[in-house]
A and B are shown apart, each in its own frame.
Chain A
Amino acid sequence: MKNLLLFFTVILIAYSTYAHNIEVCNTCPISTLKKAISSAKDFDTILVKKGTYKEHNILIDKPLTIIGKNYPVIDGELKGEIITIVSDSVTVDGLFIINVGTSYTEDYAAIRVRKSKNFVIQNLVLEKLFFGIYLEKSRDGKVFHNKIIGDAIQEYNSGNGIQLWYSKNIEIEHNFVQHVRDGIYLEFSDACLIKNNVSAENLRYGLHFMFSNNDIYQDNTFEKNGAGVAVMFSKKIKMLNNTFKENWGTASYGMLLKEINDAEITGNTFEENTIGINIEGSNRIIYKNNNFINNGWAIKIRGACYTNHFIENNFLYNAFDISYNSKVNDNIFDKNYWTSYTGYDLDKDGIGDVPYRPVKLFSYIVNRTPETIILLRSLFIDIIDFSEKVSPVFTPDNLLDNNPLIKRIIW
C-alpha cells in the first residue's frame, strides 16, 4: 500500500511537471492564443491549428513552445503589436503574422522579445508589418528561417525587418527580408552571428550596424537595397563570403564603412554597385580575397583611413578601381589582380614586373569636380591617365600595388 501510494505520487508529480499539449483552433474549446497562454503552465506546448486568429497584444510571460500547424494566420488588424515575449525559453514556430499596426510614437513589432534569454523564433512568415522581429535587451536567442515581406514605401513610416537593440549572442540565420526600411538592424548588439540571410529591395539598408562589436556576418546576400549595407561605429567585425549586388543609385554603395576598426573583410563579392565599398575613418581593416566586379567605383576611400591592408583581391572591370582623396597614404595594396593592369611578367612568376597604380588621375579629377564624370572613357582621359601613370603628380606616389598578379585569383 505504501508502495502504491508512492507510485501514484511519483506518477502525479511526473504528470504535473510533464509538459502538456494545448490545442488551439477556431472550433476548439480554446479558440484564441491569449486564452491558451493564460491557461498554460510553464514549459507547455501550444499547438495552433490552421485558421485565422484576430488577436493583438499577445503577451507570452512564461516559458512556452508555440507551434503553428500549416501556418495559422495571426491577424493584428493593424491595431498594434502582435506578440510580445517577456519570458525566458520561449519558442515560436510556424506562424503567419500579418497586419501590424503603424505608429509614430511606438515601434510596434510583429514579434518582440524583451529582456529574455534562450528564445527561438523560427519558420515565421511576416507580412504587412511595421517592425518585424524586434529583440530588445535579450540574449542567447536564435532567429531562424523566417520570411519577412514588407510593403514599405517611405522611410519615415516604415520599420525594420529584424531589429536588435542591446542584445547579445544572437544567431540570425536563413532569413529572407524584403521591402522593409532596414532589412536587419543591429544597435549596441555584440557577439551576434548573421548567416545565410537574404536581404533585398529594402528602402534603406540591407544590413545596418551601429555600435555593435565582435559580430560576424557571413554568406549573406544583399541585393538591390536603397543604399546597400552600412556598418558604422563598430569594432572587430568579421564579414565573410557575403554578396553585395546591384545597389544602384545616386547615393548607393555595396557597403559603407564608417568608423570601423580592426575588422576583417574576406571572400565577399561586390558586383554592379555604384560604389563597391565606401570607406570613411576606418583603420586596421584587412580586405582579403574579395571580388569587385563591374562596379562604378570598386573602393572609394574618403579620408582618415590608415593601416588598411588590401591583399589578394580581384578587381574586375570597374570603371574606377580606387578613388582616394588625400596625398598621404599608409594603406597597403599587395598581390591583387587588376583587370586594367597593363604590365608584363618576364620572369613568369605570375607577378607583374611593373607596379600598378590603382588611383587614376581621372578618379582624382572626378573627386574634385564630380561633373567631369561625363568625360568617362573619352580618348583624352585615357591619354592623361596614361601620362599620370608614367609620372604621378596628383595621386599619392606610394599608393601602388608592387606585386600585381597576372591572372585572376581563384580560391
Chain B
Amino acid sequence: MLKILKYSFFDLMRSRWSYVYFAFYLLLGIVLLFLNNDLSKAVITLMNVIIVLVPLIGTIFGVMYYYSSKEFTELLLAQPLKRPSIFLGQYLGVAISLSMSLILGLGIPFIAYGLLKSNTIWDFSLLLITGTFLTLIFTALAFNIALTNENKIKGFGYAILLWLFLAIIYDGLFLMSLVLFEDYPLDKLSLVGTMLNPIDLSRTLILLKLDISALLGYTGAIFKKFFGTNFGLIVSFIMLAVWVVLPVLRIVFKSKKKDF
C-alpha cells in the first residue's frame, strides 16, 4: 500500500494541479494578510473560503484522479496486490497531497507574517486541522462515488451534487426544519443537525473560537456550552473522524467486490 501511496503522491506532486492549488492558497493567504492587516479577521475570511472550497476541490479532484488513473489501476489489479491497498494507497496519495497544498499554501504566508508570536495560532491550527479533515472526508466520498459509477459524467454529476447538498442544500433544509418546529425546544435538534454535516461542524467549531460575539446571545449559550468545552471539541473531532472512517471502509468493502 505504501508503495502505491508513494507513487500516487509523487505523481500528484509532479502534476500541475497541485501546484495551482498550492499557489492559490499561497496567494489567498498573502492577499488576505497584507490587505487586511488583522490576523483574526483574515482567519475568519479564510474560514469562509475553506469551508466552501476545500470540500469542492476535494470531491472534484478525487473523482478526477480516479477516472484519469483508471487504466493504471486496471494494470495494477493484474498484479498480485491486495485490492484495498491499491485503492487506499491512491486515496491517501490524493488526500495527503491536497492537504499538503492547503497546509503549506496557507501556513507559509501566515508564518512569514509572524503568526507564531500571535495568539491566533490556535485558531489558525484549528482552521488547518478542520481543513485537513474536510479534505480527507470529501476525497473519500469522491472515491466512493467514482467506484460506484463507471460513467464519468454521472460520477462528476453525483460529486457536484454531493458538494451542493452538504454545502448549501443541507443548511437550507436544516433552517427550514428549525423554523418549522420553532414552537418546540430546538437546542438538541440543532446540535444534532450540526454534528451530522461535516461542513457545518467545521464551521461551528471555528466560529466558536473566532466570531464568538453573536453566538454568545441567549441561545448561543447552549452551543458554546457544548462546543466550547473540551468534551464538545473531542466529540466534534470524533465525529469528523467517523466521517473519514465510514467512507474509507466503504472504499475497502466496495473495491473488494467490484468487478473490473
B190-244, CB < 8 A from A:
190, 193-194, 200, 203-204, 207, 211-221, 223
Contacts of B213 in A (CB 8 A): 248, 272-274, 294-296, 319
User: Chain A, interface size: which category?
Assistant: 20 to 34
For residue A324, give the distance in angstroms from its CB to the closest CB of chain B: 16
Q: Which of B217, B219, B221 has the most CB of A within 10 A?
A: B217
B167 within 8 A of A: yes
A70 within 8 A of B: no
Contacts of A371 in B (CB 8 A): 178, 182, 186-187, 189-190, 219
For residue B191, give the distance in angstroms from its CB to the closest CB of chain A: 8
Q: Is the CB of A373 within 8 A of B220?
A: yes
In the complex, what residue of chain A is closest to B40 when comparing beta carbons?
A294
The 8 Å CB contact of A374, one of B41, B167, B223, is B223
Contacts of B207 in A (CB 8 A): 376-377
Contacts of A272 in B (CB 8 A): 213
The CA of A383 and the CA of B168, in the complex, are separated in Å by: 9
The CA of A317 and the CA of B207, in the complex, are separated in Å by: 14
Interface string of A277-309 (1 = CB under 8 A from B): 000000000000000001111000000000000
Q: Is the CB of A296 within 8 A of B194?
A: no
The 8 Å CB contact of A379, one of B168, B174, B194, B214, is B168
A342 within 8 A of B: no
Q: Is the CB of A379 within 8 A of B167?
A: yes
In the complex, what residue of chain A is closest to B191 when comparing beta carbons?
A374
The CA of A371 and the CA of B216, in the complex, are separated in Å by: 12
Q: Is the CB of A275 within 8 A of B194?
A: no
* Overall SS of chain B's interface: helix
A319-B211, A368-B182 known; A249+B190 contact, CB < 8 A: no
A365-B179, A374-B190 known; A274+B171 contact, CB < 8 A: no
Contacts of A274 in B (CB 8 A): 213-214, 216-217
The CA of A294 and the CA of B169, in the complex, are separated in Å by: 29
B52 within 8 A of A: yes
Contacts of A319 in B (CB 8 A): 211, 213-214
The CA of A365 and the CA of B189, in the complex, are separated in Å by: 17
A105 within 8 A of B: no
A354 within 8 A of B: no
Q: Is the CB of A380 within 8 A of B215?
A: no
In the complex, what residue of chain B is closest to A248 when comparing beta carbons?
B216
A295-B213, A317-B41, A368-B179 known; A380+B218 contact, CB < 8 A: no
The 8 Å CB contact of A380, one of B172, B182, B187, B212, is B172
For residue A123, give the distance in angstroms from its CB to the closest CB of chain B: 37
A154 within 8 A of B: no
The CA of A377 and the CA of B51, in the complex, are separated in Å by: 10
A250-B221, A252-B216 known; A377+B211 contact, CB < 8 A: yes
In the complex, what residue of chain A is closest to B44 when comparing beta carbons?
A377
A11 within 8 A of B: no
The 8 Å CB contact of B175, one of A273, A317, A365, is A365
A371-B178, A374-B190 known; A297+B41 contact, CB < 8 A: no
In the complex, what residue of chain A is closest to B185 when comparing beta carbons?
A371
A29 within 8 A of B: no
A371-B187, A371-B219 known; A377+B171 contact, CB < 8 A: no
Contacts of A248 in B (CB 8 A): 212-213, 216
Q: Is the CB of A378 within 8 A of B186?
A: no
B68 within 8 A of A: no
Q: Is the CB of A380 within 8 A of B171?
A: yes
The 8 Å CB contact of A249, one of B200, B216, B219, is B216
The CA of A379 and the CA of B41, in the complex, are separated in Å by: 18
B48 within 8 A of A: yes
Q: Is the CB of B171 within 8 A of A251?
A: no
A381 within 8 A of B: yes
Query: What are 11 A-B interface contacts by the 8 Å CB criterion?
Result: A248-B213, A248-B216, A252-B216, A296-B213, A320-B214, A370-B218, A373-B223, A374-B190, A374-B193, A378-B200, A380-B167
